[in-house]
């Protein structure tokens, strides 16, 4: 069974999943950042040879999480669609079939910078679209990791990762990063880049690898134990 980690932020318990998403059990809500659906087709339309099937891979992974955790709602923390070219018939068709499979699931998109360029998803997908931040209890759900007075922010945008090891054994792995007032989720999409975070700027870091979420201790070691509140 996949190993998760748990943190308390903004008065809520947040479960960090090795599939690079997070769960708010009290709200039966799954948080997904930076899916970038349609990124591959966007690149191919520009003549760049990139892998095929990444949209299907992303949506299949999302289905597995929705069904495994029996969530009632998914909140996308920005950048659901990669660009206007993501409105290709093949991409929207895949999204429509996915939506039909999860017809009763509530969906919300907190607009990110790519959503501003791509435009909102078609109304037929029944996705509620809002500007950031969207408040949920003591949390502010956003795309850009900027503080919001009186709330703990959960965001995306940065595609965070950390480097572990040295030399030829150095690994780059996606991570969850938590500061005093802002936490950042890793990118969920199957075809996304990553950017290293400054370890000194985050109070807590959780690395994702081999089906587990592991806390990075101050000495650089890894731990599976429950972590204290980030704030």
CATH number for the domain that contains residue 21? 3.60.21
Instruction: Please state the pTM of the whole predicted model.
Output: 0.87
Is residue 60, in this structure, part of any structural domain at all?
yes
Q: Would the pLDDT of 165 be above 70?
A: no
Q: Would the pLDDT of 145 be above 50?
A: yes
Contacts of 215 (CB under 8 A, 6+ apart): 5, 204, 205, 206, 222, 223, 224, 225, 227
- Per-residue tokens: 159: 């595609």
Is residue 197, in this structure, part of any structural domain at all?
no
- DSSP H or E run through 163: strand 160-164
* Weakest mean pLDDT among 25-34, 114-123, 152-161, 176-185: 114-123
Is residue 145, in this structure, part of any structural domain at all?
yes
Q: Would the pLDDT of 194 be above 80?
A: no
Is residue 195, in this structure, part of any structural domain at all?
no
Specify whether the CB–CB gap between 46 and 82 falls below 8 A. Answer: no
- Per-residue tokens: 101: 């499979």
Is residue 47, in this structure, part of any structural domain at all?
yes
Q: Which of 44, 14, 38 is nearest to 26 (CA)?
A: 14
Is residue 209, in this structure, part of any structural domain at all?
no
Is residue 217, in this structure, part of any structural domain at all?
no
Question: Distances from the Cα of 214 to the Cαs of 20, 24, 208, 211, in angstroms?
Answer: 12, 18, 7, 10
Q: How many domains are contained in the chain?
A: 1
Domain range holding 11?
Answer: 5-157
């Amino acid at each position: 069974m996949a190993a998760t980690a748990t943190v308390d932020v903004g008065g809520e318990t947040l479960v960090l999943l090795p599939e690079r998403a997070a769960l708010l059990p009290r709200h039966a809500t799954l948080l997904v950042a930076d899916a970038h659906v349609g990124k591959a087709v966007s690149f191919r339309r520009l003549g760049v040879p990139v892998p095929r099937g990444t949209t299907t891979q992303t949506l299949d992974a999302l289905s597995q999480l929705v069904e495994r955790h029996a969530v009632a709602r998914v909140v996308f923390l920005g950048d659901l669609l990669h660009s206007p070219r993501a409105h290709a018939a093949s991409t929207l068709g895949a999204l429509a079939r996915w939506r039909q499979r999860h017809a009763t699931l509530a969906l919300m998109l907190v607009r990110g910078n790519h959503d501003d360029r791509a435009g909102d998803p078609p109304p037929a997908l029944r996705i509620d679209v809002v500007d950031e931040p969207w408040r949920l209890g003591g949390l502010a759900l956003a795309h850009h990791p900027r503080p919001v007075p009186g709330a703990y922010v959960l965001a995306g945008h940065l595609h965070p990762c950390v480097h572990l090891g040295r030399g030829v054994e150095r690994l780059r792995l996606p991570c969850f990063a938590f500061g005093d007032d802002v936490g950042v989720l890793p990118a969920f999409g199957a075809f996304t880049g990553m950017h290293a975070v400054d370890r000194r700027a985050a109070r807590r870091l959780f690395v994702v690898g081999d089906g587990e979420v592991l806390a990075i201790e101050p000495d650089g070691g890894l731990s599976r134990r429950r972590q204290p509140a980030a704030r």
